């Protein structure tokens, strides 16, 4: 074995740089760089308009699928995907934890016991309500259940009775104390023309769940969510209301010093009733995503104290009842899960 001194190795290196054999390598390297830039620019410019259906099932799991939820229940920074719905004939209410692998095809990883209750639908949300950490909250007309992730499934850790008769539920830390509040929309007043609804806030304390505050009557509420759209660590509240299924108004509210204040609102910018709203962090930034009964998906950013609608509108031939966004393939970009009435699940990718 010959040893090469530092001097010799430098000369060899220089010799190769000067040599003719080097040129094909440089050419190859240039093409590689061009190709890499091309791939990068395609990724960089993949916009909201590029979402395509990657999975579509018109008969997904239950006779009625009501909700889809993307949330990280075990704190591994990957969100889990859950759906909740009803089998009318079988008198069953279920929550499913889904696993999504190749081809964005969901399969059942865990199924709840039958939570059936007469004349009730089922709602799901998640939050960190006390030191038990992030839990799944499942609500029916008179009961709610807290589930904690354990291994590949969920374990029941609490069950409560209530008389809330909710229209919708969501959770978020709206006062910045580090714990999530439970937000429930309820009917306050029924006129001949419409329901007039309000939002009630509940906290889980040492003495159980306690109602802390509520809003004034806000109209016929159809959509509700909470999310930190401006990145200050405190969740804003989004309520959508309108007559019947006509285009309505999205109100962005902040809770401060025991009162709700309206920060921004947009009217008549969504086609149809926006039953679904979620605040999610896309590579483009944080967006309020809405899904309407006329099959439209829209995106709003919060900028200059206004909610600004993105020109891109996704359109589907289904009444959309719920939606969420989740990175199913760990590529750093969000897929979108949509529920179409009565039991369609779509997954979009771009």
Q: What residue ranges bind Ca ion (CB under 5 A)?
A: 72, 74, 76, 78, 173, 175, 177, 179, 228, 230, 232, 234, 327, 329, 331, 333
The smaller minimum CB distance to Ca ion, of residues 71 and 220, is found at 71
Q: Alpha-carbon distance 319 to 196, whole Å?
A: 23
Give me the least distance between CB of 128 and Ca ion, in Å please.
9
At which residue do the structure tokens 């969501």 appear? 170
Helix, strand, coil proportions of the chain in percent (round to 5)? 10, 50, 35
The smaller minimum CB distance to Ca ion, of residues 56 and 228, is found at 228
Contact indicator for 319, 291 with CB cutoff of 8 Å = no
The smaller minimum CB distance to Ca ion, of residues 92 and 327, is found at 327
Give me the least distance between CB of 302 and Ca ion, in Å please.
9
Give me the least distance between CB of 308 and Ca ion, in Å please.
16
Give me the least distance between CB of 159 and Ca ion, in Å please.
23
Contact indicator for 339, 68 with CB cutoff of 8 Å = yes
Both tokens of residue 160? 């409560």
Q: Alpha-carbon distance 112 to 302, whole Å?
A: 37
Q: Alpha-carbon distance 313 to 325, whole Å?
A: 15
At which residue do the structure tokens 């899960």 appear? 337
Give me the least distance between CB of 62 and Ca ion, in Å please.
23
Q: Alpha-carbon distance 24 to 20, whole Å?
A: 8
The smaller minimum CB distance to Ca ion, of residues 50 and 177, is found at 177
Strand order in the sheet with 221-227: 221-227, 236-241, 249-256, 259-267
The smaller minimum CB distance to Ca ion, of residues 116 and 179, is found at 179
Give me the least distance between CB of 235 and Ca ion, in Å please.
6
Q: Alpha-carbon distance 47 to 191, whole Å?
A: 44
């Amino acid at each position: 074995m010959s040893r090469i001194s530092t001097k010799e190795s430098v000369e060899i290196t220089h010799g190769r740089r000067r040599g003719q054999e080097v040129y094909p390598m440089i050419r190859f390297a240039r093409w590689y760089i061009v190709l890499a830039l091309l791939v990068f620019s395609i990724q960089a410019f993949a916009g909201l308009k590029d979402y395509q259906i990657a999975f579509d099932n018109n008969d997904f799991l239950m006779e009625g699928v009501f909700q889809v939820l993307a949330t990280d229940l075990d704190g591994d920074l990957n969100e889990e995907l859950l759906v909740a719905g009803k089998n009318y004939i079988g008198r069953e209410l279920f929550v499913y934890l889904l696993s999504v692998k190749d081809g964005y095809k969901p399969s059942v990883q865990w199924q709840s016991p039958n939570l059936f209750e007469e004349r009730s639908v089922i709602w799901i949300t998640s939050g960190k309500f006390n030191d038990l950490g992030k839990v799944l909250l499942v609500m029916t007309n008179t009961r709610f259940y807290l589930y904690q992730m354990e291994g590949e499934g969920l374990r029941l850790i609490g069950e409560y009775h209530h008389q809330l008769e909710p229209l919708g539920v969501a959770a978020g830390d709206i006062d910045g104390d580090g714990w999530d509040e439970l937000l429930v929309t309820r009917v306050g007043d029924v006129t001949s023309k419409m329901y007039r609804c309000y939002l009630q806030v509940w906290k889980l304390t040492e003495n159980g769940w306690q109602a802390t505050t509520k809003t004034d009557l806000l109209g016929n509420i159809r959509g509700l969510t909470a999310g930190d759209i401006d990145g200050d660590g405190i969740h804003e509240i989004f309520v959508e209301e309108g007559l019947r299924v006509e285009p309505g108004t999205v109100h962005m509210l902040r809770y401060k010093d025991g009162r709700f204040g309206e920060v921004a609102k947009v009217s008549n910018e969504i086609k149809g009733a926006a039953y679904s709203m979620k605040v999610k962090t896309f590579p483009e930034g944080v967006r309020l995503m809405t899904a309407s009964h006329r099959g439209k998906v829209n995106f709003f950013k919060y900028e200059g104290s206004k909610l600004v609608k993105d020109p891109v509108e996704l359109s589907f031939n289904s009444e959309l009842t719920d939606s969420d966004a989740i990175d199913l393939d760990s590529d750093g970009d969000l897929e979108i899960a949509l529920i179409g009435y009565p039991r369609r699940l779509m997954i979009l990718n771009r």
